[in-house]
A and B are shown apart, each in its own frame.
Chain A
C-alpha cells in the first residue's frame, strides 16, 4: 500500500512544466537595490537558493500569475549544523527534528529523503519565513537549463501547501486560555 504513494518523481530534461512542489536548485535571487538611480551602475547581491515552488499548479499552468512564490529548502543536517546558538545539545537537536516533523514549528516543513535511482536527497527543511517571488518568465527559462528535475507528488505536495497556509493564517492571541496541566 505504501509503495503506491511515493514522495517524488523525476522529470525528464524535456519536461518544462512547472508545478507546485517542483524543486529548482541554485535559483539566483536578486537583492533589490535600496536606491534606484536611472542609468547609474550599482552593485547588488545575488544569492542562490535551492527552492521549492509554492504557487498553485493551476495558476502556473494557466499563466495567471507574473511572479512565482518559492521557498528555500535545506538539507536537514546542514540546516541544523548552522543553528549554533539555538541547537547545541543532542537533546535540542532531537527535539527540533521531532517538532518540525509533527508540524509544531509553523515556519518550517519537513520533507522526506529521496532515494530514487541517480537522485538521492537528504531530509529537507523548507523555510516558510523567507519566501521569494520570481518572475515566471525568468523561472521558465532558468528551468530549461537544469536538466532532470525532482517533483514532489500528491498528497505530500498538498501537505506542503497546507503547512504553508497554516503558517500564514496563524493568529497570536493576546490573552490565551491557560494550560489544563
Chain B
C-alpha cells in the first residue's frame, strides 16, 4: 500500500521525536505516510502537510519544523536506510514486555477433598544416597 514505507517512517520518526519533546500533538499517521518517489519528495510532502495543518504563525512549531528540516537534510544515502530500520532499537533483550494467553476453555467443577497429606519427596537416584 505504501511502496516507500521506509521513507515515510523516517519522516514520522524524526517528527515524533521532536514533536513529542514540545508536547505538540502528533498528526494522524496516515497524513504523514505519503507515497513518494524519492526521500526528498516525501520529506517535503510530510513537512508541507504538517505546516498546513497547524497555524503557520506558531513560532514554536516553526522552530521545530526548521530543526527537523535541518536534521533531515543531514541524512544522506545509506544513512537513510539505517535510520529507516524500524527494528534497530527494538532488538535488545526485553524482559519487561508481558503478554497474556488464554486457555482454550474454562469450566467449573465440584470437588470434595477427602484428606490432606504432606508430600514426601523421594530420592530416585540411589547413587546419590550412597555418597
On whether A79 and B103 interact (CB within 8 A), knowing A37-B113, A39-B113, the answer reads no
**CB of B28 to closest CB in A, whole Å:** 13
What per-residue 1/0 map shows which CB atoms of B96-125 lie under 8 Å from chain A?
011111111111111111111000001011
A36 at the interface (CB under 8 A from B): yes
CB distance from A133 to the nearest CB of B (A): 12
With contact pairs A33-B111, A44-B111 given, residues A95 and B104 touching in the complex (Cβ less than 8 Å) = no
The answer to whether residues A38 and B94 also contact, given A48-B104, A50-B104 and a CB cut-off of 8 A, is no
> A106 — which chain B residues lie within 8 A by C-beta?
93, 95
| Binary contact track A30-72/B, C-beta < 8 Å → 1, others 0 | 1001001111111111111110000000000011111000001
Q: Is the CB of A42 within 8 A of B111?
A: yes
Chain B residues near A44 (CB-CB < 8 A)? 108-111
Partner of B99, one of A36, A50, A108: A108
A interface, by DSSP: helix, strand, loop or mixed? mixed
B113 close to A40 (CB less than 8 A): yes
Give CA–CA (A42, B101) in the complex, Å: 27
Q: Which of B97, B101, B110 has the most CB of A within 10 A?
A: B101
Render B69-94 as a binary contact track against A, CB cut-off 8 A, 1 for contact.
00000000000000000110011111
Interface residues of A (CB under 8 A from B): 26, 29-30, 33, 36-50, 62-66, 72, 74, 79, 82-83, 86-87, 91, 94-95, 98-99, 102, 104-108, 125, 127, 129-130, 170, 172
Starting from the known contacts A44-B111, A87-B99, A106-B95, 7 additional A-B residue pairs (CB-CB under 8 Å) come to A36-B113, A38-B113, A40-B112, A42-B113, A43-B108, A107-B98, A170-B95
